[in-house]
Amino acid sequence: MGQHYDRGIICYQNKQYKHAEKEFREELASAPDSAAAHAMLGMTLVALRKGEQGHKEALEAVRLFPDYAYGHYTLSYSFAAINKPKESEKAIVEAIRIQPEEAYLFGRAAQIYMNQKKYQRALEMADIGLSFEPDNEECLINRGGALLELNKLPEAEVTLQQALAVDPESYTAHINMGATQLRLMKHAEAFTHYREALRLNPNSEQARLGVLESLKAKNPLYHGMLRFSIFCRTLPPPVVVCALLLLIFPPTRLIIVAIFGAYAVANYMFELALHLDPVGRDFVSDRKEKTLKRLKELTVPLLMIVCGLGIAIGAALAPTTDKNYRHRHRAAVKEEPVQSMKFDSFVPYMAYVETRIKRNWHPPSMTKSMSVLVHFNLDKNGNMSNEKVVESSGDEQMDKAAIAALKAAAPFPKLPPGNEKPVEVQFRFQYNVSNSATEKNAPDQSATDKKSTASPQSATDKKSVLSPQPATEQKSITNPQSGKTKE
């Protein structure tokens, strides 16, 4: 390997990834077929959060040298960076097949199984790696993490102490050790490790929350809440699903909501108490400042959403000059496709025809009672034709409204089976003004049983009645009252 490769390795080990990238690219400029340089450049790009570019370099390294274990190791990292965990697992399994005695490969496999929440499998991989190299940092950290998740706390504590002895500056080891000490109710030691993890990674929210938890654990009254929190977090997924199913039943729902509500209130009170602690005050204030900063960043989007909702609600509730707008809109939503409807006899068929016409009947405002008789034909497919006024009401607007109701209601469903000839139908639209002077002109009981109130004015003094009328002079007439067809 050339000098650029060696300098790149040093920069990578010191986490100077930008300088490492530059050195590895210069190495590839002089040796473009170097699988090792491609692999290290891929690892560097992944560390710089350039997953796609790093994945291309890893693929090139494997292409140049298919039996290069480190190339497959790099490929495993790059697959994880582009969110392909299954491919990542296959790549590390291939690397282990090529070099089955390399501890760092088993450390990587343990990390993959940790991410998949397969903690027992991760523990097995870490133990195999430690059998080849007892001081391998990655194997020790993953072994400690797996033991922590399996709730084997004393073993986890010992393993993580070994990991910190190998690398006292390991952020992950301090985080896992802090969690272990917190579960062992050693809040002082937990605070030390969480604070060190926060020093190594100041942007770690996990470390900040760990510091707050360890500070609250100084209060003996908080120990019960902490145990309850740890218990809930370590429940197996099937148990969690069963607990969620209990929310279906009102008694258990009330109990669960009461428990978690009390926990949330108590937790908030303990956090408020941290303002009295000289050390806790700083961490709580830092968290408050971050929360306020996030809220300020979300102010404009939230205002836009609220304004949009306000405009939408205002438009929905705004008055309209069309008094029948909401009625027609509701009918249109509930209407079914007529072509998919089938009727076995004329009784339900004509009842549906009448209902459909009623929905589209919007009579004009009148000061006196009147009626109009209309005629139309229906063919076997439900298509309407020859619509006309047979008996005029004497008012042009009333007649036009009746024809408009027919046209708006068409087309209708197909005629019941066995009816190939067109059917002639007559409907009478009645507009009755109900007051002391006109009560004698009110429709009879057979008409009021099938009335449709569509008065454009007050519903207390006017009503509009739509009733089918039997015809006796047409060639083929359907009487919707009896459901029979006369030839």
pLDDT in tens, 81-101: 999 999 999 999 999 999 999
> Picking from 37-41, 194-198, 354-358, 441-445, which range would have the lowest pLDDT averaged per residue?
441-445
Has residue 477 got a pLDDT over 90? Answer: no
pLDDT tens digits, 423-437:
888 888 887 776 433
Q: Measured between alpha carbons, how far is 294 from 296 in angstroms, rounded to an integer?
A: 5
Q: Measured between alpha carbons, how far is 3 from 11 in angstroms, rounded to an integer?
A: 12
For 246, residues 6+ apart whose C-beta sits below 8 A from its C-beta are 252, 253, 256
**220 vs 484: which has the higher pLDDT:** 220
- Mapped onto helix, strand or coil, the DSSP state of residue 135 is coil
Has residue 46 got a pLDDT over 90? Answer: yes
pLDDT range class, residue 42, cuts 50, 70, 90: very high
Phi (first) and psi of residue 427, to 5 degrees: -125, 140
Between helices 85-98 and 69-81, what is the axis angle to 10°? 170
Q: What is the pLDDT of residue 458?
A: 30
Nearest to 485 by CA among 429, 427, 418: 418
Report CA 403 to chain centroid distance, whole Å. 49
**276 vs 5: which has the higher pLDDT:** 5
**349 vs 340: which has the higher pLDDT:** 349
- Assigned CATH for 328-437+446-486: 3.30.1150
pLDDT tens digits, 346-391:
888 888 888 888 888 888 887 788 888 988 888 888 888 888 888 8
Q: Measured between alpha carbons, how far is 375 from 429 in angstroms, rounded to an integer?
A: 11
Q: What is the pLDDT of residue 332?
A: 47
pLDDT range class, residue 185, cuts 50, 70, 90: confident
Phi (first) and psi of residue 162, to 5 degrees: -65, -40
Q: What is the pLDDT of residue 253?
A: 79
Q: What is the pLDDT of residue 181?
A: 93
DSSP 368: S
Has residue 487 got a pLDDT over 50? Answer: no
**Region(s) of the chain under CATH 1.25.40.10:** 3-242
Can you give the C-alpha Rg of the chain in angstroms? 40
- Tokens for 456, please give them: 């454009």
DSSP 221: G
Nearest to 213 by CA among 282, 286, 271, 272: 271
SS3 content of the chain, % helix, strand, coil (to 5): 65, 10, 25
pLDDT range class, residue 445, cuts 50, 70, 90: very low
- Tokens for 86, please give them: 């299954």
One-letter identity of residue 77? Y
DSSP 248: G
End-to-end CA distance of the chain: 103
Q: Measured between alpha carbons, how far is 298 from 241 in angstroms, rounded to an integer?
A: 33
- Tokens for 134, please give them: 């007892």
Mean pLDDT over all residues of the chain? 78
Q: Measured between alpha carbons, how far is 425 from 443 in angstroms, rounded to an integer?
A: 20
Has residue 291 got a pLDDT over 80? Answer: no
Q: What is the pLDDT of residue 52?
A: 92
Q: Measured between alpha carbons, how far is 47 from 45 in angstroms, rounded to an integer?
A: 5
CA atoms within 13 Å, Cβ hemisphere of 255: 7
Has residue 447 got a pLDDT over 80? Answer: no
pLDDT range class, residue 467, cuts 50, 70, 90: very low
Q: Measured between alpha carbons, how far is 419 from 486 in angstroms, rounded to an integer?
A: 12
For 408, residues 6+ apart whose C-beta sits below 8 A from its C-beta are 360
> Picking from 186-190, 288-292, 417-421, 451-455, which range would have the lowest pLDDT averaged per residue?
451-455
One-letter identity of residue 30? S
Torsion 141-163-169-125 (CA) sign:
negative
Q: What is the pLDDT of residue 316?
A: 62
pLDDT range class, residue 18, cuts 50, 70, 90: very high
Nearest to 146 by CA among 164, 171, 169, 172: 172
- The CATH superfamily assigned to 3-242 is Tetratricopeptide repeat domain (1.25.40.10)
Pairing of strands 423-433, 384-391: unpaired
Q: What average pLDDT does the segment 186-215 reach?
A: 89
Pairing of strands 423-433, 370-378: antiparallel
- Mapped onto helix, strand or coil, the DSSP state of residue 431 is strand
**274 vs 105: which has the higher pLDDT:** 105
**Highest mean pLDDT: which range of 19-23, 237-241, 325-329, 480-484:** 19-23
Q: Point out which residues pair with 424 in neighbouring strands.
A: 377, 477
Percent of the chain with pLDDT over 70: 75
**Region(s) of the chain under CATH 3.30.1150:** 328-437+446-486
Q: What angle do CA 187, 189, 193 make, to 5 degrees?
A: 115
Percent of the chain with pLDDT over 90: 37
Q: Measured between alpha carbons, how far is 461 from 274 in angstroms, rounded to an integer?
A: 70
Could you tell me if 45 and 53 are in contact, meaning their C-beta atoms sit under 8 angstroms apart? yes
